[in-house]
Amino acid sequence: MNRVELIKVTRKHTLKQALELLDQSSMSILLYVDENGALQRTITDGDIRRLLLSGRELDETLEHLKASDSVVGRQGASDEEILALMDRHTVNQVPVVDNNNKPVDIYLRHELAPRIQLSIPHMGDHERQYVEEAFQTNWIAPLGPNVDAFEKELAAYVGARHAAALNSGTAAIHLALKLLDTGPGDIVLCSSFTFVASANPILYQGATPVFIDSEPNTWNMSPDALEKALQEYCKGSRKPKAIMVVHLYGQSADMDSIMALSEAYGVPVIEDAAESMGAMYKGRHTGTFGKLGVFSFNGNKIITTSGGGMLISEDGELIERARFLSTQARDPSPHYEHSEIGYNYRMSNVLAGIGRGQLKVLDDRVESRRAIFDRYCQQLSGYDCIDWMPQPEGDYSNRWLTALSLNPAKTKITPTQMIKALAEANIEARHLWKPMHRQPLFKGSEYFSHGQKSYCDYLFDTGLCLPSASNMTIDQQRSVIDNIRHILNKKRNKPEINRQTLIDV
Ligand SMILES: Cc1ncc(COP(=O)(O)O)c(C=O)c1O
């Protein structure tokens, strides 16, 4: 039986049967046809709920349904026309009827349009040329001219003196901790509001993470909470080995305050700038304030090498040692001689070629992501329940992902509901990072909150991020915006969009 037959109902069907059909078919509409098989209207579970609320019983039939307008396409309409119809009416399923108004098919959005993803790679014009050169010269190895050039070009771009190209941001974080001599029993103060890759390497080293809350101005590490932790740990014999500060979603942390605390207490800073390549704090690139800085070129990042990372520092000896450790710690000797543990963490020459091409378009990518953020803010400015991730005066976020929080005092809709409703429209949205102190992996870890209430818990409970890829089309952005409006309007019980009957497309 084709899927149209599966969801056809007549006036003889009971409300219970209609609900069962909706449940079994995984469609969100039923097709209500007359005795000749002509489509009269579509029915959603909301229509049935309203009948029940008006006093009808489950074993009564659908004959009590009132006539209603429905969004319908004509047989022969193109996919583009049906998609435009879906966009215009913010629906994800459209039945198609023949000349006698008999339903012949049902179109589903996810079958017509690619999923709108959170963040996908966006290649420029030069990556292929550098990769081609690697092939022509047979530099298909770790190390090679692209690696050297990528390190120099990236260092020059961010204004750092030295850089080591590695095979992931996580590897760069791990080496940063090694270089600061972090070992078993040592304390590392780490942003709680982050992806787990900021904290996992602390465990690789057998050290103990102590998590620090976020603050409202930047959503990143709270200097107040950091100071409480430094006071607590520096008074005894457990002075922390490092501060791991993360610049989440492309927004810098408050680096003046954090660096002042680092200096006052003599604890070095590692900046996890994995998500903030191209972002600035008071005119200076994130990643360049601490003793060591880390970038990631994972596939979802603002520029990518498919996988890769970079460790930067002003200290050439540290970066030289990072290169040594990342190539199996081979001692200078005519044979293979090893006196300490090493790693296979170096970036390949092929991937560094992609990185060189990507670096050339980084400014454009930042501009595009910022423009997407601005468009979301502007087009959804009528919804005071949305608090956008802030960007303090003087900062320049790369807006890697548009992040927002839904104020629970102003809307009943939760991030989970919003994410689910967007997924039904074939749009990927995600919860904000779940704080590390709430992860089972770090159960029992110490945590210092910004105020009486933990701020990053609030962000996780209320926040989500929206599709932000720099190659998103305007139509895709419009679709995200229309769907968010639709979801929030529904919750406000505003009248739904006026639908036309049998729209000819
Ligand atoms: C905040 C943060 N830190 C570290 C990493 C790790 O980078 P990679 O995936 O390159 O290992 C990522 C991303 O994946 C990240 O988002």
The minimum-distance atom of ligand 1 relative to the CA of 197 is 4
Q: What is the pLDDT of residue 493?
A: 42
Over the stretch 324-336, which tens digit does the pLDDT of each residue have? 999 999 999 999 9
| Confidence at 492, pLDDT banded by 50, 70, 90 | low
Ligand 1 nearest-atom number relative to CA 308: 10
- E-strand spans in 138-207? 162-166, 187-191
Domain assignment present for residue 477? The answer is no
| Ligand 1, residues at Cβ distance < 6 Å | 168-170, 194-195, 197-198, 246, 272, 274-275, 296, 298, 309
d(CA 368, CA 400): 10
The model's pLDDT over 271-308, given as tens digits with 9 standing for 90+, comes to 999 999 999 999 999 999 999 999 999 999 999 999 99
β-partners of residue 245 are 271
Instruction: Provide the number of structural domains found in the chain.
Output: 2
Residue 505 lies in a domain: no
CA dihedral of residues 40, 45, 47, 51 (deg, nearest 10): 120
List the structure tokens of 188: 């590392």
Segment 143-170 mean pLDDT: 97
Asked whether residue 408 is assigned to any structural domain, the reply reads: yes
Question: Which CATH number is 67's domain given?
Answer: 3.10.580.10
| pLDDT at residue 235 is higher than 70 | yes
CA of 274 from ligand 1 middle (Å) equals 5
Lowest average pLDDT, out of 75-89, 193-207, 248-262, goes to 75-89
Is residue 338's pLDDT more than 70? Answer: yes
Distance from Cα 192 to the centre of ligand 1, integer Å: 14
Which range in 98-112, 121-135, 360-374 is most confidently predicted, on average pLDDT?
360-374
As a whole number, mean pLDDT of residues 462-470 equals: 97
- Cα 300 to averaged position of ligand 1 atoms, centre (Å): 10
Q: Please indicate, yes or no, whether residues 35 and 80 belong to a single structural domain of this protein.
A: yes
Question: What would the mean pLDDT of 244-256 be, rounded to a whole number?
Answer: 98
Cα 172 to middle of ligand 1, angstroms: 10
Query: Which residue puts its alpha carbon closest to atom 8 of ligand 1?
Result: 169
* Helical (H) or strand (E) element with 463: strand 463-466
Lowest mean pLDDT segment, chosen from 101-115, 144-158, 286-300, 429-443: 101-115
E-strand spans in 28-161?
30-33, 39-43, 73-74, 93-97, 103-108
Centre of ligand 1 to C-alpha 197, Å, is 5
Question: How far away, in angstroms, is 378 Cα from ligand 1 center?
Answer: 30
Mutate to test the pocket of ligand 1, among 118, 167, 168, 170 (most ligand atoms within 8 A of CB): 170
Determine the Cα–Cα distance for residues 273 and 275; give it in Å rounded to an integer: 5
Say if residue 397's pLDDT is above 50: yes
pLDDT of residue 491: 60
Q: Which atom of ligand 1 is nearest to the CA of 307?
A: 10
Output the CA 56–ligand 1 centroid distance in Å.
Answer: 55
Q: Averaged over 71-99, what is the pLDDT?
A: 91
- Whether the per-residue pLDDT at 505 is higher than 50: the answer is no
CA of 106 to the centre of ligand 1 (A): 41
Based on the domain organization, do 334 and 351 belong to the same domain?
yes
Secondary structure tally for the chain: helices H, strands E: 17, 21
Query: Is residue 453 a part of any domain in this protein?
Result: yes
Listed in order, strand segments (DSSP E) in 67-132 are 73-74, 93-97, 103-108
- Strand 39-43 relative to strand 30-33, pairing: antiparallel
Of 50, 77, 112, the one marking the end of a domain is 112
69, pLDDT greater than 60: yes
Residue owning the nearest CA to atom 12 of ligand 1? 274
pLDDT of 384 over the 70 cut: yes
pLDDT of residue 1: 59
Q: Which of 270, 275, 346 to mutate to test the pocket of ligand 1 (most atoms within 8 A of CB)?
A: 275
Q: Does 318 reside within a domain? A: yes
- Give CA–CA dist 95/40, Å, rounded: 12
Average pLDDT over residues 34-39: 94
Residue 498 lies in a domain: no
Predicted pLDDT at 431: 98
- For residue 497, pLDDT beyond 80: no
Task: Show the domain range for 224.
Answer: 118-472
Residue 496 has pLDDT above 60, yes or no: no
| Burial classification of residue 379, based on how many CB atoms lie within 10 Å of its CB (0-12 exposed, 13-18 middle, 19 or more buried) | middle
Q: Is residue 459 assigned to a domain?
A: yes
Task: Encode pLDDT of 37-66 as tens digits.
Answer: 999 999 998 999 999 999 999 999 999 898
- Give the number of the atom of ligand 1 that is nearest the alpha carbon of residue 272: 3
The CATH number linked to 404 is: 3.40.640.10
On the question of pLDDT at 207 being above 80, the answer is yes
